[in-house]
Amino acid sequence: MGQVYKAVQPSLNRVVAIKVLPGEFAEDETRVERFNREAKAVALLNHPNIVQIIDKDQDKDTLFFVMEYVPGSSLDDVLQQRRLSLQEAFTVFRGVCRGLEAAHRQTVIHRDLNPRNILVSDDLTIVKLADFGISKVETISREMGTLSTAESSIGTLHYMAPEQAVSSGTVDHRADIYSAGVVLYEMLTGRVPVGRFNLPSQLNSEVPSEIDPIVLKCLATDPKDRYGSVSDLIQAVELLEDQLRLGLVNELKGISRSTSKIFKSSTQTLTRNRKVLIGAGAGVLLLAAIGIAALVFRSSEPEPAPQQVAEVARGAAFQVEAVPRFDPEAVDSQLDLGKFEPEGEPTEEPAQPEPPAARAAEPEPEPEVEAPQPTPEPKPAPQRSTTNAGDREYKVALDKLKAGLFDPAIKDFEEFLQRFPNSSRAPGAYLAIAECHVGAGRTQAALAAFVEVQSRFPSARETAQATYRHGELLIASDRGRAPEAIEIFERAAVKFPNSNWAPLALLAKASLELAEKIQVNDPVTGGRVPRALITYRNVTELYGSTPHAEKALRRLAELYANEKRHDLAAQAWEKLGTSFPNTKIDCWWEAGQLYDKKLDNDQRAIAAYRKVPKSSRNYDAARKRINKLSR
């Protein structure tokens, strides 16, 4: 209803939008009164996802209001041209829900949420809701309490909650939740749900079925069956989005955020073999690769025995490894300046850096879905002397780090950042400073430096390492901050799923989850299980070809056995043997024992025993069992 014009506000020299309502509105005192009341209420809504009303006025028989101008188009225009990707739908829907949430806090209900009233930028990163309250004035007859068909379109009806079509005067915020569900359905499928409709996953193969319950709950006929608030809806969507991002569907269901203190004091401590496996399963010593040299993981201790992992699963005490120290021999010495990235092509456009003094680490917000980074335009190559000077200074600083000269190295890296602030190695230099503080034993300064890397360069490849190291150092220095470390490790895995640090982060997360004794509902086992079990399982599914999966499969099998799911434990042992034929773990013997002793499956037991290698200490025992079971 009404015409919208693009205009310029002379007093502030800014572009605005002016909505002019139909002439007959000014002739009805009731409508004028409601227009004024609603406009005042909506003008109080100041939120990034709501179009701001700047002013309202009446010129003779014309009512109009002035609102901020939003470049782009309506969501309806976008949906007419194409179907949104799953990620785009999530991005737009989050903006819609946050706008509704802010309005509902001010007791303002939209009542006419549909794609035409959702304004988006061309890249869909800006989402704003328009016509709050004003739409109610235009389409609802106060006297009748029902829709005036002369003033509304059939399209709007499809987005309207059932109770609103019956009695508009009694609807509450849950009517907006219904409309939001219709919008989500349309973004996912290109259709609106009318009558008996198919689930989104049935109409679009790219939509996972886990989204269906959220959509159905929004579209419940009875308002009591919908989400109680938009905040609850946002929480459900963001939780699902995080799970889908890692492929961890249903992982977080039933998780209690309030968990008991980790690492309770105990007179019993495990041996060094039972230390928290922050890295990958042994004493992991990390040093700065810093954009040039890769970190080297050294594992000098044997893998924990199965009974040790079982003790862990039952809540045995952990002995936390000391803060990682610097070891010059652990740095890759194969440095080749010719393989460095050329200066002038930074992976992240950094801000002009201040001298990187240690700052107190501040809590960071949960990461948004990382948008694809556009390929930077080629920049003119700098003069050769400048590039060479930067390379030399960087290498000198790195050599000092490797030599354990931490304070001189910090000084060199700071000077490098001051002289070459736009270098592609700037993230690595900040990361190097953090590692220098670790080597010097300055834990708080190191934590602050790792946070600085994450804050300055959220998308740089070095940030994956900084996030992981942040969590590792945090838990190594303060046992009571395990819940916070779990969130940091999860962030590293979610935000950088393709980095080498993601599986390490998940393994570290699982170790802490065992210590925290966190339990969740698991759809695979059908009951409550340690959350670590699900984390290990996802390591095996997401990173099945990496050495990390070998460690995860072993722990997964042992945890399944603890839960009396011997069938799943046997399958995990078999998968370990199949995926890692050179493993030193006696997985085929373990599988055979389960099929033989727990599952009474002689054929599967024989098949597993036959694959026990001659190098196994159980080789002869496996042959005997084969002979006995074959009779």
Please state, as a whole number, how many other Cβ atoms lie within 10 Å of the Cβ of residue 218.
26
User: Would you give the distance in Å from CA 186 to the centre of its chain?
Assistant: 24
Question: In the chain, what is the straight-line distance between the N-terminal and C-terminal CA atoms, in Å?
Answer: 85
SS3 441: coil
Q: For the chain, how big is the Rg over CA atoms in Å?
A: 30
Q: Up-side HSE of residue 353: CA atoms within 13 Å toward CB? A: 28
**Cα separation, 146 vs 440, whole angstroms:** 72
Q: Which residues make Cβ contacts (< 8 Å) with residue 240, sequence separation at least 6?
A: 210, 211, 214, 249
Helix residue ranges per DSSP H, 288-339 = 306-313
CA distance 522 to 509: 17
- CB burial of 323-344 (b: ≥16 within 10 Å; e: otherwise) equals ebebeeeebeeeeeeeebeebb
Distance CA 511, CA 386 (A): 47
Rounded CA-CA distance 520/138 in Å is: 49
Which is the catalytic residue, given 28, 77, 112, 478? 112
Cβ neighbours of 428 (radius 10 Å): 27
What is the distance of C-alpha 340 from the center of its chain?
A: 31
The DSSP annotation for 229-293 comes to: SHHHHHHHHHHHHHHHHHT-TTTTTT--S--PPSS---S----GGGS--SSSSS-------TTTS
- Other Cβ atoms within 10 Å of 148 Cβ, number: 13
Closest by Cα among 361, 385, 380 to 444: 361
User: CA of 44: how far to CAs of 69, 102, 118, in Å?
Assistant: 17, 11, 19
Active site residue 478: no
DSSP summary character for residue 403: T
Output the CA torsion 595→597→600→603 (10° steps). Answer: 40
d(CA 598, CA 575): 18
Whole-angstrom distance, CA of residue 58 vs CA of residue 417: 58
Classify residue 38 by burial, with Cβ atoms within 10 Å: 0-12, 13-18, 19+.
buried
Q: Which helix (H) or strand (E) holds 445?
A: helix 443-456
Enumerate the H helices of 501-616 as residue ranges.
501-516, 531-542, 547-562, 566-579, 587-593, 602-610
Amino acid type, 14: R
Instruction: Tell which residue, 507, 257, 496, 485, has the closest CA to residue 361.
Output: 485
Active site residues: 112
